[in-house]
Structure 1
Amino acid sequence: MTYRSKSVKEYWAARWEDIPADVPMDNAHVYPLKYAEMTVQDKNGRILEAGCGAGRILRYYHQHGYDIVGMDYIDVAISKLKAIDSTLQVETGDITALRYPDQSFKYVLAFGLYHNLEHDLDKAIGETCRVLERGGAVCASFRADNIQTRMTDWLAECKSKKAGKTAGPRAFHKMNLSKDEFARLFTRAGFLIEFIGPVENMPFLYKFAAFRASAHKRFDENKARSEGYRLSWLGRHLQNLLMRLMPDQFCNIYVLIARKT
């Protein structure tokens, strides 16, 4: 578990309050769109994006004519998406108690969702299975329990101490799992795993401006979320070396694609 000064809900409410709704993601070579495209094979299949956040994946599929519903438990994220495009199907909801009937969707996309749950993780994945059609697929990511996560948490702790934010009680922030632990959750719920692997969402070196691409030196979260977190030539080569040598230690998430049996 990772603990911070804010609860997970406070963290996401503040984060989505601070940035505008996303533009549609435009880089299909990076997470998460790369893995969504590996999953969604049928344009006529209905999609649920659970934990749609600021909307980069939701808006990508919506603009390409897919039937996609976006759900998030942070009201401000949903309000911003409704304001920017009234034709989006979006609503506030809870992954542990979905309102949809059984077998409502062919695909569920859940990027960075399940690791926000301190409790009821099996219940959330069970609900995901329930609303999927037989043969339908889920694509999900989960925070990795590894060296990179520990370094990221250490840097965040140092930043909080510098800002004087560590004096109060600590609140649950994220759950971190190994690849095998993540896989077992879905196998236990009745899924057949087709892919699971280490992935870089934000590469560790991106946290340091010196290693970012020139257009990313000044951090713009919406830009990074649309284009991917781009590194300089040196940053890419160093990050690639780390991923070649120890992919399970220098990824920051695992991505899983599984099918309901």
Structure 2
Amino acid sequence: MRITYRSRGVKDYWASRWADIPADSAMTNEGVYPLKYALQTVVSRDGAILEAGCGAGRILRYFHERGYDITGIDYIDVAVAKLRDADPTLKVETGDITRLQFPDGRFRYVLAYGLYHNLEHGLDAAVAETLRVLEPGGRVCASFRADNIQTRLTDRLADRRARRSGKVAGTAFHKMNLTRREFAALFERAGFVVESVSPVENMPILYKFAFFRARTHKAFDENRARAEGYRLSGLGQLLQDALMRFLPDQFCNIYVLIARRP
């Protein structure tokens, strides 16, 4: 386990991030993270879905607009308010993954992308709560920031940018980073049966350099990237494919887990 630090706390970071962008439209690219893995997990329209840490709403709105019974929670009020303004028919509320206000076995599926690694405290409690609100046989799909070469390079780049802008070195908790084995063990301790843990490129490190981005992504637009995926140019994708083929555990930036409650 490795911890990433920044100059401001994780809640301030997310409050600022969600305040700076509009609510998402429904995600459009079914072939990339996270929608690709959500569709592998949600195999039936029957049963309720919880998206924990719904953020700007790209996954929540995808399933809602297709008639699924989905509820979203996020602990950042501004994100919830923007989603309610964008679509008053959404079931979305402020919530805490470590203390969910739902009865036992309420959901058949839980989707939690980029959520658990934001917890400085209460990680085991959060996973235990996830198990509690799932019905027997229910499934969870979650992602967690990987502890590997890519995320270490990403953190170094962030530290360098901070120093260039005159900021002090980060001392506030930002994210936790786990290996594949540590991520699986976290859910197994809670009582889950882990079906798979996959190395996944959400934002490839090459995307951080405009030269390697697709033409329509040269000028960064977060909502576009969140809807379409972080698209690389032909050269960038060729290089990224090679990294993921030969060193997937070192050049993914997240692991995606699918597990079920026995």
Which interval holds the TM-score relative to the shorter structure?
A: over 0.9
Classify the secondary structure of the residue corresponding to 1:175: strand
The one-letter code of the counterpart of 2:196 is F
What whole-Å deviation, never above 9, does each CA across 1:7-45 have from its counterpart, x for those lacking one? 000000000000000010000000000000000011021
Paired AA for residue 92 in structure 1: T
Does 2:174 match 1:204? no
Residue 210 of structure 1 and its aligned partner are, at CA, apart by 0.2
For 1:244 and 1:31, locate their aligned partners in 2 and report how far apart those are by CA, in whole Å.
17
Secondary structure of the residue that 1:224 maps to in structure 2?
helix
- Structure 1, gaps ≥5 residues long: none
- Offset from partner CA, 1:202-226 (integer Å, 9 cap, x none): 0110000000000000000000000
Distance in 2, matches of 1:204 and 1:240, equals 12
Matched residue of 1:59: which SS? Answer: helix
Q: CA deviation at 1:237?
A: 0.3
Q: 2:139 aligns with which of 137, 154, 170?
A: 137
Query: Residue 245 of structure 1: CA displacement?
Result: 1.3
Structure 2 match to 1:79: 81
Aligned-partner Cα distance in 2 for 1:97–1:165: 35
Partner of 1:122: 124
- Whole-angstrom CA distance in 2 between matches of 1:244 and 1:32: 20
Amino acid across the alignment from 2:224: K
Q: Which amino acid aligns with 2:51?
A: E
| TM-superposed deviation, 1:170 | 1.3
Q: 2: distance between equivalents of 1:129 and 1:160?
A: 39
Give the match's secondary structure for 1:237: helix
2:93 matched to 1:103? no
Structure-1 residue corresponding to 2:249: 248
Deviations 1:83-110 (A, max 9, x none): 0000000000000000000000000000
Partner of 2:218: 217
Amino acid at match of 1:90: V
Match of residue 156 from structure 1: 158
Deviations 1:127-148 (A, max 9, x none): 0000000000000000000000
Shift of 1:166: 1.5
Cα distance in 2 between the residues matched to 1:226 and 1:163: 30
Q: Secondary structure at the match of 1:195?
A: strand
1:181 shift after superposition? 0.2
Q: CA–CA distance in 1 between the matches of 2:242 and 2:138?
A: 36
> For residues 15 and 165 of structure 2, what CA distance do their matches in structure 1 show?
20
2:168 paired with 1:166 = yes
**Number of equivalent positions:** 260
Amino acid at match of 1:133: E
Moved over 6 A (4+): none
Q: What residue ranges of structure 2 are gaps of 5+ in the alignment?
A: none
SS at match of 2:177: coil
**Which whole-Å deviations, capped at 9, do the CAs of 1:63-101 have from their partners, x for residues lacking one?**
000000000000000000000000000000000000000
Q: Distance in 2 between matches of 1:98 and 1:118?
A: 17
Tell me the distance in 1 between the aligned counterparts of 2:67 and 2:98: 28
TM-score normalized by the length of structure 1:
0.99
1:149 is aligned with what amino acid? T
1:49 equivalenced with 2:69 (yes/no): no
Report how far residue 197 of structure 1 moved: 1.0
Give distance in 1, aligned partners of 2:24 and 2:162: 27
User: What secondary structure sits across from 1:82 in the alignment?
Assistant: helix
Aligned to 2:240: 239
1:27-38 alignment runs, 5 A limit = 27-38=29-40
Q: What's 2:176 paired with?
A: 175
Q: CA RMSD in A?
A: 0.7
